[in-house]
Structure 1
Amino acid sequence: MYSQNDLDEAVASGALSADAATGLRNFVEQRSALPSVDEEHFRLISGFNDIFVSIAAAILLFAVAWIGQSIGQATNLQLGDNGPTPLAPAAVAATAWGLALFFTAKRRMALPSILLLLAFVGGVFTAAGFVLVVIIGEQTINNNHVLGGILGAAAGAVAALAAYIHWKRFHVPITVAAGGAAVAAIAIGLLVAAVGDVANMRNIILGFVLLLGIGMFLFAMRWDSSDPARVTRRSDVAFWLHLLAAPMIVHPVFSLLGLNDGNASIGEGLVVVVLYIALGITALAIDRRALLVSALAYVLFALQSMFRQFGAVELNIALTALVIGSALLLLSAFWHQARRMVVSPLPDGLRAKLPNLDRPILSENSATPLPAA
């Protein structure tokens, strides 16, 4: 079965004309009788071989990390007596890059590319952090929030550079989100270094993460607005950025409001429901479900607490699952109609920056697809 990105790549390479690709898209749309915008396509797997290769790559990376850890301990290059060593994440990052040269650059396999990208950037970030700790010394860093924040920011900077290099070489859509996470780590590290050890550091960090999440959301919308038809890789990049921004927005909001302290009252439960409805309207407007998924745990907890306080102790979990499950399925079934109700009243300028309500026809002036991954 051919994916949306396969058609984009075929058009970009000249194997298929734009008119032929448009005709195929229109045929599939008419046959399904559903607007393609409802599907929120993004490339994850193209076949079971993606899963097979991902499992094999994960096993290999685990083995490489184990060997690197053993070598680090044998050479006394480790943290503490039997702590982690920088060689393990460094070996993982190097192996992930080497595998990406084949499975990403040549085979263009989606799921293995995502796994290898995360292993590469995560390995670089961890290795950089461990190396800095080994050089400076654990005792110097203990209970030193300023130095710890600076080291965290430095490791984030190295990871951000690694993500940029990976993007320039492979153009995997999730790489931009990984780089965004690294930049967020830099900002949080610098904040911790600037604030130091204060009584309300937790709330300060949560508020700062909320601001970073809003910034990440706006950055994702910039990618989305550059491809309102969602026919290029820019849409995939925006998807992963929204997936990163959603928890950065949702968790601080509910945490700062005190709605995750383990005992929600009826009033707090109602606040959660109202916030979830607001998130749902936003998700409909931007045609992204990540916000709804990120806040799902909070609304489930709030509703089951409300049902328990109303006396439905034995069935509180079942009733919560029934209400939320039914609501989400109903919203999914009528997503396009609900989205039209939300988007249509908006000003023309704002509506033009949102994903199209209806599938447009691809023309020669359409945005050029980004290189495949």
Structure 2
Amino acid sequence: MTDQNVDGLRRFVAARRGHVDATEHERFRLLTGFNDVFVAVCCIMILAAAAYLGSRVHEALAGAAMAVVSWGLAEYFTRRLRLSLSSIVLLIGFAGGTLAAGLMGMVDLLDLKNVRDPADAAGAVAAATLLAGAGSYAHWRRFMVPITVAAGSAIGLSALFALLLLAVPSLRDSITVMVLVGGLAMFAIAMRWDSQDRERNTRRSDVAFWLHLAASPMIIHPVFSWVGVNGAVQVVSPGLALAACIGTYLAIALVSLAIDRRAMLISALVYVLYAMGQLFSMAGTAREMNMALAALVIGSGLLLLSARWEAARRLLVPRLPGQVREALPLAR
């Protein structure tokens, strides 16, 4: 079936059911059915057993065994049955096993077991992440599981960070900046995938979803650390820090609306709940009431935003510059 046939069939079914449009809301494929859950649980059990048996021989073989078994199971459950959740579990098992095997192998080879500072093991981390990155690329070429691009990008960034620390050890004091830059780079990659599927009908949209989900905490944590919400930086008064926190969350909400992705709002939720709780505390509210009131206010606001999400996008997107609009999902 062509893309036009699929889109026409989807609209026809939505109209028969009395819905607006089946492509109106953000979607991602997590479950294929309950059999998918059943298979995923069984896969986890098998991978855990393979890792344990491998570790009885050598620590590096635990990850290697998990990677080999994950690939073998993916040949059937991913490539033939296309089970969504099981494919995610098997991808994580393969990427994590490859990374663990490389890391434990390098630690044993270079005798780094007693190293306390992770920066001192940057060479081992770089080698392990490069191996895991190559494995993730091979896995993508074979199975094309949407989460693979996000996992591979995260592993690639880890390899880059390790190589930078190896070349310039003084950068260990700038880890937060490196994480933020990496998060922004991953966000740009996600937007690239999103711009290729503005209708959100193909695998590209699923790839972009996982990229946004991986990029969001990398962007959110450094930003909220710098405004002082978690006590990491206290360059301004607590009131100004909390105001900056809430203002940052509002800016994140606008970005989330524009790109039609909610991952950033979820990633920043803990920070803004803490900030709102502190505001209620400064207003004299009893301590045990702070988080309850904060959760009520933020939850109500997000629920209202969810209910009027498309209407808010219709107001926001047309006011953006033309080149920006062309890279965003269509406002319906």
Q: Please, what TM-score do these two structures have when normalized by structure 2?
A: 0.93
Separation in 1, partners of 2:23, 2:157 = 30
Unaligned runs of 5+ in 1: 1-10, 73-84, 359-373
Aligned equivalent of 2:45: 59
Q: Does 1:289 align with 2:262?
A: yes
CA contact (8 A) 1:145 1:192 kept: no
Unaligned runs of at least 5 residues, structure 2: none
Higher relative contact order (CA 8 A, sep 6+): 1
Structure 2: how far apart are the matches of 1:228 and 1:109? 25
**What's the CA shift for 1:239?**
0.6
Cα separation, partners in 2 of 1:143 and 1:276, compared to 1, 3 Å: same
Counterpart CA distance in 2 for 1:256 and 1:150 is 29
* Higher share in helix: 2
Does 2:307 match 1:337?
Answer: no
- 1:201 aligned onto 2:172: yes
How far 1:357 moved relative to its partner?
1.3
1:245 aligns with 2:215: yes
**Whole-angstrom distance in 1 between the partners of 2:118 and 2:183:** 23
Q: Spell out the pairing of 1:59-98 with structure 2 (5 A cutoff).
A: 59-72=45-58, 85-98=59-72
Conserved 8 A contact 2:227-2:244: no
**Aligned-partner Cα distance in 2 for 1:211–1:225:** 21
Instruction: Tell me the distance in 2 between the aligned counterparts of 1:320 and 1:143.
Output: 39
CA deviations on 1:42-95 (whole Å, 9 max, x unpaired) are: 1110111111111111111111111112222xxxxxxxxxxxx11111111111
The offset of 1:145, in angstroms, is 6.1
Answer whether contact 1:86 1:131 (CA < 8 A) is retained: yes
Indicate yes or no: 2:99 matched with 1:113. no
Partner residue of 1:50 out of 20, 33, 36? 36
**Structure-2 change in CA distance of 1:26 and 1:122 (3 Å):** same
Task: Assess if the C-alpha contact under 8 Å between 2:277 and 2:291 holds in 1.
Answer: yes
| 1:248-291 Cα shifts (integer Å, max 9, x gaps) | 11011112333212899332221111100000000000000011
How is 1:129-168 mapped onto 2 (pairs within 5 angstroms)? 129-138=103-112, 142=115, 147-168=120-141
What is the root-mean-square deviation in Å for CA atoms of aligned residues?
2.0
Say whether 1:298 aligns with 2:268: no
Aligned residues: 327
Q: Please state whether the residue corresponding to 2:57 is helix, strand or coil.
A: helix
Aligned equivalents of 1:173 and 1:192: distance in 2? 30
1:217 aligns with 2:217: no
How high is the TM-score relative to the length of structure 1? 0.83
Task: State the Cα distance separating 1:146 from its structure 2 match.
Answer: 5.9
